[in-house]
Structure 1
Amino acid sequence: MLIKMKNATREDKLEVRKRLPGEELEIIPFGQHEIIIAKLDRKRDEYSRDLQEQLSSAPAVEEVITISEPYQLTSRKLKPEGSVVDVDGVKVGDETPAVMAGPCSVENREQLLQTAEAVKKAGAEILRGGAFKPRTSPYSFQGLGEKGLELLQLARKKTGLKIVTELMDVEHRDLVAEYTDIIQIGSRNMKNYSLLKSIGKIDKPVMLKRGMASPVKDWLLAAEYVMSQGNHRVMLCERGIKTFGEDTRYTMDLSSIPLVKEKSHLPVIADPSHGTGRWELVIPMARAAVACGADGLLVEVHPEPKKALSDGPQSLKPEKFARMMKEIRQLNELDKMDDILREAASF
């Protein structure tokens, strides 16, 4: 059960506690509100109308919400209108899909700046690039580390693009947070609960990728770990899951996009690059993701994919990325027109 309070004093919170004697309560900041999570004993009738009325009448209580799912703060029942994550002026979850694009790995100054200029010109608002790279083989390129972060900062200064990069462990949290605008948690770390709780304690937008073998419920509970620590600026990213398919790197689970948007108020980003592993499939899957309701795209772009130190086969060349952006804009305009016509037909 969630108890939504605004401008609550210490006495107001004590009053709620009095009305739930013996129950474990947790108070979490949530925007302009505070949320009290009551971890009620399932044996009692926690959904009774009498209990809700008693709590609703307490001072400073705006709303009492009962949620049967194990995830509470990520549930759409808490925020039916949906969340918009503001990344220093770039709004993710708004009417227009936000596009994050750039190389899988930051390799050198020339490669990064060339790519940043290209994706900026095509209309991207956020530059992606890995400074610390989780790789299956210990002998593969692991990233430039802090030097890569410095190059990302340089690219931001020259282009005005916001930055998203991956955080792999708690040790580098403050370093990565200093340089980036969005902290990305990769698929392999979706269930790294210590890391999730750690980034929940800082005020920095987080993009949480779905684990490659994780059901939607576990994905939302991973986001719950971040939000339970006070950071509610969370985005989810569908990046493909492991199936028996052999022709693509992963299977892009497009059905998860509308499903998650039904279950959760958090914005959903689609990553068609990892979702397929093949550059020729990226554009059609990007179109499909936007048509499914994705709030943004995460796309890998490289000036010379064949020379990329990581994920070259799934990277678009700049000219193909520009084509994708044009098609996405056209699709979004059609979607807006459809909404206008639907609204007009309702009168």
Structure 2
Amino acid sequence: MVVVMSPDATEEQIARVTARVEETGGQAFVSRGVVRTIIGLVGDIDSFHGLNLRSMPGVQEVYRISDPYKLVSRQHHPERSTVHVGPAGAEVAIGPGTFTLLAGPCAVESAQQTLQAAEMAKAAGAKLLRGGAFKPRTSPYAFQGLGLKGLEILADVGTATGLPIVTEVVDARDLDAVAEHAHMLQVGSRNMGNFGLLQAVGDAGLPVLLERGVNATVEEWLMAAEYVAQRGNLDVVLCERGIRTFEPSTSTTLDISAVPVVQATSHLPVIVDPSHAGGRRDLVVPLSRAAIAVGADGIVVDVHPDPEQALCDGPQALHGQELRELATACRKLPPVVGRRV
């Protein structure tokens, strides 16, 4: 069950609702969005019905949600949400009606490389700089990122270019340091099922970019988002970045159908990562066009000033002509499907 508070509900009114629920032995999880506050209830539904919560001051509506994910479902939130990322007064919107390009180096390697990649991304139309300071890799011998030094480089480059920072957190122990330097926290596909990390990220008070795990169903993906929402954070953007199938010709198989499926089920924005889905530079632009056409709220792509020398995922990083083609697609195609760039 979900209780939707009125936009002008006071903290005292919210506290009274949670206290009444807890008096019956239930649990109340308060999630605060930009416009409204939602309280997710866990416990005996029949006993909740007897509380007459609809009559309490500050309560707008009470919904019984059949979806296993309560807070991110469209059953109580029929209009789709917009997530705002960045400092006050300079936020970047991700959501319905807009199309947002996130781009940057897969891994921060140096200050010069990151600045060059950020300038390339901005020139292509990117509104957010995505770069990795901590890199979870399949091989323990592969480049694992620069850590704190990488965060400092990202922050400096973000200030220099005016681009808000999106970067991955892979360990809850690093969360404070990452949150200090970033405007949006990324949870990668390998950590989609790391429920302790999801809860910690939900408590951090920053927007979250949640990637789909390569073996995850749509429902499992949305349940992971529910972990973040349940901790009080409804500012979650979902990222489809390919799933594992029997087909070996690409890194993963981009599940393009997941975009409209999730948008019909959840109010959260959905973007696509064509770089990691295809794993090949020549596939990024075609997959980006497909993402725009199917209604994605944005895409996130890898760019690098010298892909042949990249320490991480060079074969999929854009530069030169491919990046110019992407910029053209991101400028011309979204208006065709009713999106503002």
Q: Would you say same fold, with TM above 0.5?
A: yes
Name the SS of the counterpart of 2:338 in structure 1. helix
Aligned residue type for 2:177: L
CA deviations on 1:163-183 (whole Å, 9 max, x unpaired) are 111100011000011111111
Aligned to 1:316, the other structure's residue is in SS state coil
Give the conservation status (yes or no) of the 8 Å contact 2:21–2:27.
no
Contiguous gaps of at least 5 residues in structure 2: none
Match of residue 61, structure 1, among 59, 62, 67: 59
Q: 1:2 corresponds to which residue?
A: 2
> 1:39 and 1:135, CA in 2 relative to 1: closer, same or farther beyond 3 A?
same
Distance 1:83 1:92 in 2: 9
Q: What is the aligned partner in structure 2 of residue 301 from structure 1? A: 303
Determine if contact 2:31/2:229 at 8 Å carries over to the other structure.
no
Going from structure 1 to structure 2, the CA distance change for 1:5 and 1:140 (only over 3 Å counts) comes to same
Segment drifting more, 19-28 vs 111-120: 19-28
Correspondences of 1:237-252 after superposition (within 5 Å) = 237-252=239-254
**Among the aligned pairs, what percent are the same residue?**
46
Measure the CA separation in 2 of the matches of 1:45 and 1:278: 55
| Equivalent residues of 2:210, 2:238 under 8 A apart | yes
Q: Which residue of 2 aligns with 1:274?
A: 276
Greater C-alpha Rg: 1
Q: Which amino acid aligns with 1:103?
A: P
TM-score, normalisation: structure 2? 0.91
The residue identity in structure 1 corresponding to 2:79 is E
The residue aligned with 1:120 is 122
| Residue correspondences, number | 333
Once residues 168 and 246 of structure 2 are traced to their aligned partners in structure 1, the CA distance between those partners, rounded to angstroms, is 28
Cα distance change, pair 55–130 in 1 and its aligned pair in 2 (3 A): same
In structure 2, what is the equivalent of residue 343 of structure 1? none
Aligned pair in 2 of structure 1 residues 187, 247: CA closer, same or farther (>3 Å)?
same
In structure 1, runs of 5+ residues without a counterpart are 340-347
Residues 243 and 253, structure 2, Cα contact 8 Å, conserved in 1: yes
- 1:8-29 alpha-carbon deviations (Å, 9 max, x no partner): 5657765786689735131403
Choose the corresponding residue for 2:160, options 150, 158, 161: 158
> What TM-score, normalized to structure 1?
0.89
Change (3 A) 1:16 1:143: closer
Secondary structure in 2 matching 1:200: helix
Instruction: Return closer, same or farther for 1:292/1:45 CA change in 2, 3 Å cut-off.
Output: farther
Number of the residue aligned with 1:265: 267
User: Would the aligned equivalents of 1:119 and 1:318 in 2 still touch at CA under 8 Å?
Assistant: no
Offset from partner CA, 1:181-240 (integer Å, 9 cap, x none): 111100010011111111111211110000110001111111111111112211110010
Distance (Å, rounded) in 2 between the aligned partners of 1:290 and 1:11: 42
Distance 1:87 1:324 in 2: 23
SS of the residue corresponding to residue 81 of structure 1 reads coil
Structure 1 segments, 4+ long, off by >4 Å, are: 8-21
Alignment-mate amino acid for residue 205 of structure 2: D
TM-aligned CA deviation for residue 53 of structure 1: 10
Shift of 1:96: 2.2
Measure the CA separation in 1 of the matches of 2:224 and 2:187: 10
**Separation in 1, partners of 2:55, 2:40:** 17
Residue 87 (structure 1) aligns with:
85
Match of 1:130 among 129, 132, 146: 132
How far, CA to CA, are the matches of 1:52 and 1:209 in structure 2? 39
1:234 pairs with 2:232: no
Q: 1:26 to 1:300 in 2, by over 3 A?
A: same
1:336 partner SS = coil
Q: Distance in 2 between matches of 1:242 and 1:254?
A: 13
Aligned counterparts of 2:37 and 2:44: Cα–Cα separation in 1: 22
Aligned 8 A contact 1:282 1:314 in 2? yes
| 1:311-330 deviation per Cα after TM superposition (whole angstroms, max 9, x unaligned) | 01111114322221211221
The 2-side partners of 1:82 and 1:99 are apart by: 19
Paired position in structure 1 for 2:40: 37
Structure 1 residues 8 and 119: alpha-carbon distance in aligned structure 2, compared to 1, 3 A threshold: closer
